[in-house]
Amino acid sequence: MDPRVRSVLMLLRDGRGPITSALVEESQRLGLSQAHLNRLFKREVGTSFRRYLRTLRMKTAAKMLQDQARAIKAIAQEVGYSDVSNFYHDFNAVHGISPKQFRLSKLNRLMDRLERRVS
């Protein structure tokens, strides 16, 4: 894999700094245009940086939604969304259900397991 793309992936996976700026920062650091680094990223990873970032954010959000005490709006902001409706749209596009439905389905599964243990 191209080391320039690998450095972007490492930034995203390690969570160093805001993930939205990873491509911008790395392109500047490497002396490449954002467009060129995005083309390299797509060639090496098989998807665009934007789509990869959205998927990464939604995986992180799904983990965070298991904490019932955290507000969905707060989770949206923590994974980089300033507009909750965009967060809902992207979450639904990735997971096929809304964040609220996702949270309820996880809670229902937990309750089912608890009921089976008690029975």
- CA–CA separation, 94 and 107 (whole Å): 20
Asked if 57 contacts 35 with a C-beta cutoff of 8 angstroms, the reply is no
Q: Which residues contact 22 (CB under 8 A, 6 or more apart)?
A: 8, 11, 12, 53
Q: Which amino acid is at 107?
A: L
Tens-digit pLDDT string for the chain (119 aa): 988 888 888 888 776 555 666 678 788 888 989 899 899 999 999 999 889 989 989 999 999 999 889 999 999 999 889 899 999 999 999 999 999 999 998 877 777 787 888 76
Angle between helices 3-14 and 49-65 in degrees, nearest 10: 20
pTM above 0.75, yes or no: yes
Helix (H, G, I), strand (E, B) or coil at 66: coil
